[in-house]
Structure 1
Amino acid sequence: MRGRAKLHTDEAAVEYVPKSLTSALEFDKVFSRLAPLEIDLGCGDGAFLAALAQENPTHNFLGIERLLGRVRSVCRKVARLDLKNARALQMESEFTVTHLLAPGSVTMFHLLFPDPWPKRRHHRRRAFTPEFLSSIHRALIAGGLFHVATDHADYFHQIERVIAATDIFVISREQYHFPPTSFEQKYVARGLSVHRLLLRKVSPVR
């Protein structure tokens, strides 16, 4: 509570604190309206989330971030822009996707520049696994989208292998404009490549 007290009232109101960690979030209550929902997993400082919310006022946007300092940053950005369609949740992304999202409740997920855990002995800590992909699939609406980006080539190849081993997503060739994240701006400025995929949910062939 002490960390939240450092925010002004309008900033603190951006953060959503669930009453239960065992039942699915009710997004009509989170946002006080029903609208297509996009979730930014590991939303960092909130620059991407706030830009998306500004550009798409008819959608709701939830940023998931485990670090309190970053959650505060998100709250300040959203409050400064007076965005009513963006909220922040301090939580682990994997836990949120697995335990707090009802089936078919999300229109699009964004997973941008997750920790690549480059050392081989740490690869098991990477977020993108078959189990995680299955949880994403369950939470998406029919035809929902999963937007993934990383600057780490080896991690990107692992992501491609995980996708290729399943029949629950296809690569979408649709053209979408996504605002750059703070990380992306730094990588591009250093001349680094950004690897990106847009995946569309499909029903597995039986």
Structure 2
Amino acid sequence: MSETTQHQAETLERPRRGVVSFVRRSPRMNSSQHHAMDTLAGEFLIEVPRGQLSTSVRTGTHIDLARAFGRRAPLIVEIGSGVGDSLVAMAGARPEHNVLAFEVYAAAIASTLGKLARAGVRNVRLVAADGTEGLRELIGTGTLRELWTFFPDPWPKKRHLKRRLVQPAFAALVADRLEDGGCWRLATDWADYAEQMRAVCEATPGLVNDEPARPGGWAARPDRPMTRFERRGLDAGRVVRDLRYRRLPRQ
């Protein structure tokens, strides 16, 4: 029996979870989103202790992800899952993986819950928190099979560039959390951000471009569905660029 099959076979009793309080109080959700939150949060949402902000994760927090998912399986994380279009489709195509998504917007989380239920996708859990803090606090060193960061906020104004997600410190955190051979998938439709992503990843010890022979070193598009946000970028004349970096074996 392979290691993956063993992971799939090791199931644990799934605990009952409450609903993240700040999500439920959001006034920006419509009635269907409120209904999704009320009826589905107990299955899909993981509650975490908070720091000073409602979207922070308290330092030193530990979550038993095997219990949260009800099984042990290779782990994929998505940071910024939005309304869940990519998440639901890609997680549904990977039933042998546990997929943990971080998103801070209440209405987006509620929409994702409804889509997961309608699609019958059960291998996803969401955390309503900052993804960087979640990756740092909830994911152990060398335990992550894949990380997805698709179309993070580009912060296009020059004075805001330091707010971009893909920076050297974040890339070092990703390299630490990825298992040997694990991969980081990135995508953006902002040309300068794509170049920044590539430069940051190239300079991060332990990461290597998984498709260096392709023109420009850009990766082939994965099985990511076209979302309306991506379509807006294309309609505006921007080019979508994907990157895929692999974690080298540790010495």
AA aligned opposite 1:169: L
Aligned match of 1:186:
232
Note the residue ranges of structure 2 that are not aligned, 5 or more in a row: 1-20, 26-33, 51-57, 212-218
1:177 aligns with 2:227: no
What is the TM-score when the length of structure 1 is the normalising length?
0.89
1:102 aligns with 2:140: yes
Where do residues 20-169 of structure 1 align in structure 2 (5 Å cutoff)?
Answer: 21=58, 22-169=60-207
Match of 1:7 among 18, 31, 35: 35
AA aligned opposite 1:120: K
Higher strand content, 1 or 2: 1
Deviations 1:147-173 (A, max 9, x none): 000000011111122122233211112
Deviations 1:122-158 (A, max 9, x none): 1111111111011111111111100000000011111
| Aligned counterparts of 1:38 and 1:144: Cα–Cα separation in 2 | 10
Aligned match of 1:200:
246
Tell me how far 1:73 sits from its aligned partner.
1.1
Q: Assess, with a 3 A threshold, how the Cα gap between structure 1 residues 189 and 118 changes in structure 2: closer, same or farther.
A: closer
Aligned match of 1:18:
48
| Aligned counterparts of 1:135 and 1:109: Cα–Cα separation in 2 | 11
3-state secondary structure, aligned to 1:39: strand
| Aligned counterparts of 2:168 and 2:22: Cα–Cα separation in 1 | 38
What is the TM-score when the length of structure 2 is the normalising length?
0.74
The answer to whether the 8 A contact 1:60-1:86 is kept is: yes
With a CA cutoff of 8 Å and minimum separation of 6, indicate the structure with the bigger relative contact order. Answer: 1
3-state secondary structure, aligned to 1:133: helix
